A and B are shown apart, each in its own frame.
Chain A
Amino acid sequence: MANKPILKEVLRDRGVSRRGFMRYCATLTSLMALPAAMAPKVAQALEGAPRPSVIWLSFQECTGCTESITRSSAPSLEDLIFNAISLDYHHTLQAASGHAAEAAREAAMKAQDGKYLLIVDGSIPLGNPGYSTIAGISNEDMLRDAAKGAAAIIAVGSCAAYGGLPMADPNPTGAVSVSQIITDKPVVNIPGCPPIAAVMTGVLAHFLTFQGLPDLDELGRPVVFYGDTIHDRCYRRPFYNQGLFAKGFDDEGARKGWCLYELGCKGPVTRNACATIKWNGGVSFPIQSGHGCIGCSQPDFWDAGSLYTAVASPTADITPVAGMAAAAGVGAGVAVAALNAQSKKKTASESTPVTVQELGDKQ
């Protein structure tokens, strides 16, 4: 690692000004919810940071996570930060292939033992090792092997973090998440389908600045980026509060930018930073573009009912149940009514009228 250029040199070579770099550090500091006074410290740490070795493993995935992270409105400073790490293995991006690529991975793992960052995207199939292999090595074996010497493990995307689409019912490959296999080391989950590029670089910057991982919630997500729901920070929230909802994607409410709750927006139950950091360099995010949040950063979001059904609406058809229940109710009602009538008749037949004479005797 010592013979690799530090970030300061990489940035200088790429023509990034000091001012631009400081602005980026201030943005990162803000993103990480640190006090503004921490910006110089972040800058200092990043400037002097050696380029950490990163090994990126892609398993059952669609490459969307890589697309998101590497194409972050290039050429951006985030992109440069990403280039400033030493990406020693990423089979989609690297030039080497086949045995040469695997040799590079093994060499990096050996040279940087205990120091490298392991980033994983995609879920791991346990149903059959043959469902997904790289150079004849099963995903599970490669993950376990690479995790041994990693300084930190980052599961990028909903598939690596929670199983994602491959794990959706009926989970034909027996897919699991990284943290279901690696249980002896902390795993940072950066869910999303795909995750926001700035969130990824924010976690990396935190690692470089503080030589440690950010605070995580119970699902392994950095609290700073996943602490709030989309609904909490949505600019359309006032319309929800006022009860103004779009009923269709092209009605008057939609044109006026009203709340998309009724169109199935999953913002209330989805934790992510889309509403604040946004996408494409802060240009927009799905709700701003007129489509409800689909909850892609939540575990099992594919199995959480229709993407276009309100978050509290029923997911099941009640017609057959209602029909059976009503029919059973008719049967039970008729039976109870018959019993009541019988009981009444019996009581009437057994009762003996009290005569005036008897009443007199009792007195």
Chain B
Amino acid sequence: MTEPGMDLLMWARGTGFQIAIGVFLFGLVLRLIEIFALRRKADVAPPKGDAVSGGLRTIFTRFVPAPGFAALLPAQIIGGVIFHFGLLFIVFFFVPHIAVIKDTFGVSWPGISSAVINALTVLTVAILVVLLVVRLKHPVRRYLSDFQDYFIWALTVVPLVSGYMAFNAVGPYTIVLAIHVLSAELLIALIPFTRLTHAFTWVSSRYYNGAFAGRKGTMS
């Protein structure tokens, strides 16, 4: 006889967490080695600019949308920026999340008000819904989207919604918390095997493009 959801929660906190971290690390190391081991033929043409400065510059210039794009894709650009920062704050500055990181890795930092995190969660989920609608409503974007685009959307939204429900005591807490932890673990485990890998490769890929263009004396 156990409280509904308790067995699931205990599994998620123990074996589930070990599996998630194991799969994540295995996949991430594999993908990073695979990516960095890729080679191009040596470029024998004389350089017309500096590759390193071009690469470093592009890491930062890509934070700003290219001219004209902001007006063309306001929902994606504005929503995308808010969504990414929202996610960053929710994951790394919600005090109970910091407690998990501290209990796992022994490092911690100050969190921010849970009420702010709560509001950010609502905003972030709302933006995700808008971005999904925008994707579905536009025939070309819908055509370009495949299963993985919708799958990683769901993979991201379930931990957010279940976390909001757990914090605000919506539904049976133990079950909701178990779903929250499990969905977060699924997200972590699948990062290296989906487009979510960009969480770890965005710096290097920006640098790569920037350096490539920089050597040719152009801007990326």
Contacts and interface: CB of A to CB of B under 8 A. Distances in A.
Interface of A: 162, 177, 179-180, 218-220, 229, 231-232, 240-243, 245, 261-262, 268-269, 271, 298-300, 303-305, 309-316, 318, 321-322, 324-326, 328-330, 332-334, 336-337, 340-341
Nearest to B22: A325
B31 interface: yes
Interface in B167-185: 169, 173-174, 177, 180-181
A265 to B, nearest CB: 11
B29 interface: yes
Interface of B: 1-4, 6, 9-10, 13-15, 17-19, 21-34, 37-39, 94-96, 99-100, 103-104, 111-117, 169, 173-174, 177, 180-181
Contacts of A268: 173, 177
A311 B6 CA distance: 11
A208 to B, nearest CB: 27
A313 B100 CA distance: 5
Nearest to A232: B169
Contact of A329 (B4, B25, B39): B25
A325 B21 CA distance: 8
A243 to B, nearest CB: 4
Nearest to B98: A262
A300 B3 CA distance: 9
Contacts of A245: 95, 99
Name the prevailing secondary structure of the B interface residues: helix
SS of A interface (majority): helix
A314 B6 contact: no
Contact of A314 (B3, B13, B24, B32): B13
Given A269-B9, A333-B33, A341-B37, A325 B25 contact: yes
Contacts of B15: 316
A337 B38 CA distance: 7
B30 A316 contact: no
A162 B2 CA distance: 8
Given A312-B99, A326-B29, A329-B33, 17 more contacts: A177-B1, A218-B4, A219-B3, A243-B111, A299-B2, A310-B103, A312-B13, A314-B14, A316-B15, A318-B22, A321-B21, A329-B26, A329-B29, A332-B26, A334-B37, A337-B37, A337-B38
Given A243-B112, A310-B103, A314-B13, A325 B23 contact: yes
6 contacts: A241-B115, A242-B113, A243-B111, A261-B99, A269-B9, A314-B13
A50 B124 CA distance: 62
B34 to A, nearest CB: 5
A218 B174 CA distance: 14
Contacts of A231: 169, 173
Contact of A243 (B23, B28, B95, B104): B95
B21 A242 contact: no
A313 B98 CA distance: 10
Contacts, number: 148
A235 B73 CA distance: 47
A354 to B, nearest CB: 18
A336 B30 contact: yes
A229 B3 CA distance: 12
Residue among A218, A261, A325 with the highest chain B CB neighbour number at 10 A: A325
Output the residue of B9, B13, B14, B21 with the most chain A CB within 10 A.
B13
Given A310-B100, A314-B13, A314-B103, A269 B25 contact: no
A248 to B, nearest CB: 13
B177 A333 contact: no
A305 B13 contact: yes
A329 B27 contact: yes
Specify which of A243, A245, A271, A330 lies most central, judged by the most chain B CB atoms within 10 Å of its CB: A243
Contacts of B174: 269
Contacts of B111: 243
Nearest to A309: B103
A299 B3 CA distance: 7
Nearest to A219: B1
Nearest to B28: A329
Contacts of B181: 312
B10 to A, nearest CB: 6
Contact of A313 (B13, B34, B116): B13
Leading 4 A-B pairs by shortest Cβ distance: A333-B33, A329-B29, A337-B37, A243-B114
Contact of B173 (A162, A229, A316): A229
Nearest to A268: B173
Given A326-B25, A328-B26, A314 B17 contact: yes
Contacts of A326: 25-26, 29
A341 B34 CA distance: 10
Contact of A318 (B21, B31, B38, B173): B21
A261 B13 contact: no
Contacts of A340: 34, 37-38
Nearest to B4: A218
